Amino acid sequence: MPLLENLWGKKPSRKSDKKKKGSSNYAYAVTRVRAMKSKLLPKESYPRLLNMGIDEITRFIQESEYKNDVDELAMKYSGGDLAEHALNRNLALTYDKLVRITTGELNYLVVAYLKRYDIWNIKTLLRGKLYNASVEDILESLIAAGEFTYTSMSELAAKATYQEVIEGLKYTEYYPLLQKFDGTNLAYIENELDKMYYAGLFEAIGKPRSKDRKLFTKVVKLEVDVKNLINLFRLKKAGVVQLDEIMPLMIEGGLELKTEKLASLQYDEFVNELQRTQYWDAISGVTGSDMASLNTLESRLTRYYLESSTILSHVSPITVVPILDYIIHKNNEATNLRIIFRGKETGLSDELIKDQLVII
Amino acid sequence: MAQQDVKPTRSELINLKKKIKLSESGHKLLKMKRDGLILEFFKILNEARNVRTELDAAFAKSTEKINLASAVNGMVAVRSTAFTAKESPEIQLSGHNIMGVVVPKISSTGVRKSLYERGYGIIGTNSYIDETADAYEDLVEKIITAAELETTMKRLLDEIEKTKRRVNALEFKVIPELIATMKFIRFALEEMERENTFRLKRVKARMRD
């Protein structure tokens, strides 16, 4: 039996699958996660970091939760690469810890949510193999925070062609879709993988009957809405107007947005329609048809999503939502630190760096 | 042309006169060509200066965009997305003539791509990636325009230099030497004529004696 079949079995196998119907340790896991969340950088740290030079920021990161990761990778990387890989490693280890400390259906939901990193890794493997990137480059681009282990991904990265990579994923749920990849339709496959991820996540949540599931669904649906909204703005800005071109790029299952209606509208009508949604307060003032960049709009929507997930996590404290909230905030912390470090390193102005930060 | 190598004959004098006439008309034409090339050069210089300014701005913008995209998405994500750039732009080179100087005409296809043609999935990426790709497409276009103009300028400068050297050579070396040789031949012929006259007078005097 091939090694990957051993590793993954018929479906990606973790204790989540086996214990889907087992007892969940909500109280224990949420308490651990609350403790972990208290170690996230407080928002007061960011203005201080913005005033520091690169050496000071490096020292700051070395003395924080990222110490072990920096020490581990310091031999291999330096400067911005070291910081970025340390942040990615820390993220992967933190998420792995979440998977380890949760059991039963809680674990099942966490694993289902973290599968986004598997999607990311599959995309990177396909991109790398299709365009003959070196194994080293591909390995550096992988983030082992999902269900696939780093060893199995390294094995896939060492394959000679993308066909072999796809064959290596034969025993995963992604195989039927990946079989449609013919070397020319990467964008289609990437979009379908992303949609498959959300479809799989909604399937994992099931029909939300309990308050717990309803909240979890709401956070995911909110994320879908935010993603769809950003993509609608991107497509409208790029001049894509055909409904049959836009709709395949929309993720199904959003909270409030009627994507089909929004997609069919001209830009001004589209913006008017958004005024009736909960997202308007977050984006009003940055939706002019002459705006040069969507960056501000995107960071405002991300901030709105983070704030909403935090509020929802307080609504029901002993549910999966605080764990999801922690995952999102941990990711945001890594993103913020990377923005500051890379921004400083590449000489971006403090004002520009500050605009990109999502500080909650 | 060294004067001592010239045979002071009438036919040589006629040839020299023809050469001087030719050189003088050549000199006049080359001077006109040089002036024309200088005019063309200054016309392109202004255009090239503008394009260079635009190129510098496009480079600064694309650098800022890629730095921003790397900061927000991570270098890892940007690198991974960059793997999807499946089609390189194609450059077609042809030439056109400016006063006898063949300068390149560069046209390109596939530089500007729509969101769909870039090869990466829309759902999994964000506007930072789009704007970086936009900025780099703009930069490549500017590089192509600048390459065309700057190569044209370089070729024109080479030709101006060459023409200037020819004009100077004709004006200060070839034509003065030809004139000097012509004077030498004319003088030699006159001298020979005087010698002949003197010789004839001597012969006539001897015959009289």
Model confidence pLDDT, tens digit, residues B178-190: 999 999 999 999 9
> Which among A194, A297, A335 has CB closest to B72?
A335
> Which among A231, A235, A346 has CB closest to B67?
A346
B115 Cβ under 8 Å from any chain A Cβ: yes
What is the model's pLDDT at position B200?
95
CB atoms within 10 A of CB A258: 11
Instruction: Calculate how close chain A gets to B134, using CA atoms only, in Å.
Output: 10
Instruction: Calculate how close chain B gets to A19, using CA atoms only, in Å.
Output: 30
Which of B108, B107, B93, B96 shows the shortest CA–CA distance to B155?
B96
Which of B73, B62, B190, B209 shows the shortest CA–CA distance to B136?
B62
Instruction: Calculate how close chain B gets to A126, using CA atoms only, in Å.
Output: 9
**Is A318 in contact with A30 (CB distance < 8 Å)?**
yes
**Is A196 in contact with A180 (CB distance < 8 Å)?**
no
As to burial, measured by CB atoms within 10 angstroms (0-12 exposed, 13-18 middle, 19+ buried), residue A302 is buried
Q: Name chain A contacts of B85, Cβ cutoff 8 Å.
A: 131
Strands (E), chain A: none
**Is A326 in contact with A68 (CB distance < 8 Å)?**
no
Give the mutation candidate from B67, B79, B80, B114 for the A interface (greatest A CB count, under 10 A).
B80
- Which residues in chain B come in under a pLDDT of 50? none
Instruction: Calculate how close chain A gets to B127, using CA atoms only, in Å.
Output: 6
Q: CA B55, CA A301: separation in Å to the nearest integer? A: 33
Q: Name chain A contacts of B76, Cβ cutoff 8 Å.
A: 84, 88, 140-141, 143
- Taking CB atoms and an 8 Å limit, are A240 and B67 in contact across chains? no
Tell me the whole-structure pTM to 2 decimals. Answer: 0.81
Which of B73, B85, B88 shows the shortest CA–CA distance to B129?
B73
- Which residues in chain A come in under a pLDDT of 70? 1-22
Q: Name chain A contacts of B127, Cβ cutoff 8 Å.
A: 230, 233-234, 293-295, 297-298
Q: How far apart are the first and last CA of chain B?
A: 47
Per-position b or e across A281-294, b if 16+ CB within 10 A of its CB? ebbeebbeeeeebb
- Taking CB atoms and an 8 Å limit, are A298 and B76 in contact across chains? no
Put simply, the chain B residues between 134 and 163 with a CB less than 8 A from any chain A CB are none
**Is A235 in contact with A249 (CB distance < 8 Å)?**
yes
What is the model's pLDDT at position A22?
62
**What residue in A sits closest to B129 (Cα-Cα)?**
A295
**What residue in B sits closest to A188 (Cα-Cα)?**
B121
> Which among B70, B122, B127 has CB closest to A295?
B127
Distances in Å between the Cα of A8 and the Cα atoms of A116, A147, A171, B28, B144 are 17, 9, 7, 86, 50
Per-position b or e across A113-149, b if 16+ CB within 10 A of its CB? bbbbbbbbbbbbbbbbbbeebeeebbbbbbbbbbbbe
* Residue contacts between A and B (CB atoms, under 8 Å): 134
Distances in Å between the Cα of B32 and the Cα atoms of B160, B167, B174 are 11, 10, 18
Residues recorded for chain A = 360
> Which among A188, A195, A356 has CB closest to B72?
A356
For chain A, the domains span: 210-360
What is the model's pLDDT at position A9?
38
Residue type, A350: D
What is the model's pLDDT at position A20?
52
What is the model's pLDDT at position A84?
83
> Which among A137, A245, A356 has CB closest to B68?
A356
User: How big, in percent rounded to 5, are the helix, strand and coil portions of chain B?
Assistant: 75, 10, 15
Q: Name chain B contacts of A294, Cβ cutoff 8 Å.
A: 127, 130-131
Model confidence pLDDT, tens digit, residues A131-169: 788 888 888 878 888 888 889 999 999 999 999 999 999
**Beta partners for residue A177, in sequence order:** none
Q: CA B153, CA B150: separation in Å to the nearest integer? A: 5
Torsions phi, psi for A98 (to 5 deg)? -60, -40
Q: Name chain B contacts of A186, Cβ cutoff 8 Å.
A: 84, 86, 119-121
As to burial, measured by CB atoms within 10 angstroms (0-12 exposed, 13-18 middle, 19+ buried), residue A91 is buried
Q: Name chain A contacts of B69, Cβ cutoff 8 Å.
A: none
User: How big, in percent rounded to 5, are the helix, strand and coil portions of chain A?
Assistant: 70, 0, 30
What is the model's pLDDT at position B1?
53
What is the model's pLDDT at position B86?
65
**Is A82 in contact with A73 (CB distance < 8 Å)?**
yes
Give the mutation candidate from A73, A88, A123 for the B interface (greatest B CB count, under 10 A).
A123
Model confidence pLDDT, tens digit, residues A289-325: 788 889 989 989 999 998 998 888 888 778 888 899 8
